[in-house]
């Protein structure tokens, strides 16, 4: 993992390290870490307020330093919670990296990004609408295929599961029904597990199923990071 944390960010650093994440590229800077304020209603749905903090303090020098350790074929996962996203995409593309983008939260900063350089889009229905202008899942997928024909797409549909699309290839995965307590980390859990499945060389249908199972466990628990299951908890 690479990123910037504030002066009080030790708990974030420790959580990554204790979870087995390589923390050598995490830097501490003056000020506050990026964080969220999360409201959860009685049905388990959430409303998230985002404070950028240290996440908005990326420099080109730091980006170049981190990317200098990676090469063609390495995978880079990005979300729109940091500044310089366009610069990061361009430099990673030049290095031949496989770029996975979750365009969340969607805002005008994404307008400066060259989406033709994205290898994978992982997004939900709302983000799909924001990127394409289409609201129906099938039309979102069709538009993404038209705009970015070389990109692979995973569209998550909440209670309707998820869909993978690449050119003429398409797979659908339903949800595993559980009692929902808190949906806060559902998308992040799905994304993490699906990308892990890619790194492990799993077939896409198996990766979707693994990610769906992990997300089901996460939404059955309270909290964000604390709700994400460890790998040994998730069965195919």
Cβ atoms 225, 185 nearer than 8 A: yes
- Whether the model clears a pTM of 0.75, i.e. scores above it, the answer is yes
Reported confidence tier of residue 83, pLDDT bands at 50, 70, 90? very high
Give every CB contact of residue 128 below 8 A, 6+ residues apart in sequence: 134, 137, 140, 141, 144, 155
pLDDT at site 165: 98
pLDDT at site 12: 85
Least confident span in 30-34, 112-116, 172-176, 209-213: 30-34
Q: Which pair of structure tokens corresponds to residue 6?
A: 């504030």
Place of tokens 């398409």: 170
Please, what is the end-to-end C-alpha distance for the chain in angstroms?
Answer: 26
pLDDT at site 82: 94
All domains in the chain, ordered by first residue: 1-57 (no CATH), 58-233 (3.40.1190.20)
Q: Work out the mean pLDDT of the chain and round it to a whole number.
A: 93
pLDDT at site 57: 85
Reported confidence tier of residue 53, pLDDT bands at 50, 70, 90? confident
What b/e sequence results for 10-24 when a residue is b if at least 16 CB atoms lie within 10 Å of its CB, and e otherwise?
A: eebbeebeeeeeebe
DSSP assignment string, 81-105: TSS-HHHHHHHHHHTT-EEEEE--S
Reported confidence tier of residue 93, pLDDT bands at 50, 70, 90? very high
**Secondary element (H or E) of residue 163:** strand 162-166
Range 102-128 average pLDDT: 95
Range 19-27 average pLDDT: 94
Over the stretch 117-129, which tens digit does the pLDDT of each residue have? Answer: 999 999 999 999 9
- Cα–Cα distance measured from residue 180 to residue 164, given in angstroms and rounded to the nearest whole number: 24
Burial of 73 by CB count in 10 Å (0-12 exposed, 13-18 middle, 19+ buried)? exposed
Range 49-75 average pLDDT: 90
Grouping H, G, I as helix, E, B as strand and the rest as coil, residue 192 is helix
pLDDT at site 56: 80
- Cα–Cα distance measured from residue 95 to residue 82, given in angstroms and rounded to the nearest whole number: 20
Grouping H, G, I as helix, E, B as strand and the rest as coil, residue 148 is coil
């Amino acid at each position: 993992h690479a990123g910037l944390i504030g002066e009080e960010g030790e708990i974030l650093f420790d959580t990554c390290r204790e979870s087995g994440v390589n923390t050598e590229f995490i830097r501490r800077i003056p000020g506050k870490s990026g964080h969220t304020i999360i409201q959860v209603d009685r049905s388990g749905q959430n409303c998230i307020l985002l404070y950028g903090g240290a996440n908005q303090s990326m420099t080109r020098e730091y980006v170049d330093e981190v990317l200098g350790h990676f090469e063609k074929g390495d995978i880079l996962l990005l979300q729109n919670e940091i500044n310089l996203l366009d610069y990061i995409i361009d430099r990673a593309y030049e290095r031949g990296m496989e770029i996975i983008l979750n365009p969340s939260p969607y805002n005008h900063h994404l307008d400066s990004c060259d989406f033709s350089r994205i290898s994978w889009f992982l997004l939900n229905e709302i983000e799909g609408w924001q990127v394409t202008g289409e609201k129906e899942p099938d039309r979102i997928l069709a538009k993404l295929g038209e705009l970015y024909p070389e990109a692979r797409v995973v569209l998550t549909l909440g209670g309707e599961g998820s869909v993978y699309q690449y050119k003429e290839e398409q797979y659908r995965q339903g949800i595993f029904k559980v009692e929902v307590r808190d949906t806060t980390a559902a998308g992040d859990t799905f994304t993490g597990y699906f990308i892990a499945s890619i790194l492990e060389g799993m077939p896409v249908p198996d990766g979707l199923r693994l990610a769906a199972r992990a997300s089901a466990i996460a939404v059955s628990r309270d909290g964000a990071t604390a709700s994400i299951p460890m790998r040994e908890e998730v069965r195919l």
